[in-house]
Copies of this chain bind each other. A is one copy, B any other.
């Protein structure tokens, strides 16, 4: 808390006027960060894009986002798996998936995405991939270029296409 106060140029005591606990602070911070990150995640997306284009946009968004904001992503994940999370957080997470689930659903309706797979599984298959890609990139110097990104997306696409 001391470091937070110093970083914010306020006194320690002041924090406690706005937050009951350290846990409370962390909690509110998580929620804020979550929202900011999700927004970035959907940046530039327009429901009018062609399905594949829209999907790729989000896919790339997420990959880039995770790379550029690795610490944020990492914190969010750790926090989500920590004993701090409550049902409120989980509900929020659920709600945030919705846009992506909607896109997937749309894909199914357009006959472009396999309809024998449930949306959650499709979602997870894509999410997991770029998470790993990003982590590998950040931690171990796996290098990206346009070509590789395209190939990776194509792999994801093959996973789910009808």
Contact = CB atoms under 8 A, between A and B. Distances in A.
Interface of A: 74, 78, 81, 90, 116-117, 120-121, 124-125, 127-133, 135-136, 139-140, 142, 148, 151-152, 155-156, 158-160
- Counting every copy of the chain, the complex holds 4
B81 A151 contact: no
Nearest to A130: B128
A136 B151 contact: no
A2 B159 CA distance: 49
Contacts of A142: 120
A137 to B, nearest CB: 10
Contact of A121 (B81, B131, B151): B151
A133 B140 contact: no
B136 A129 contact: no
B121 A127 contact: no
A142 to B, nearest CB: 6
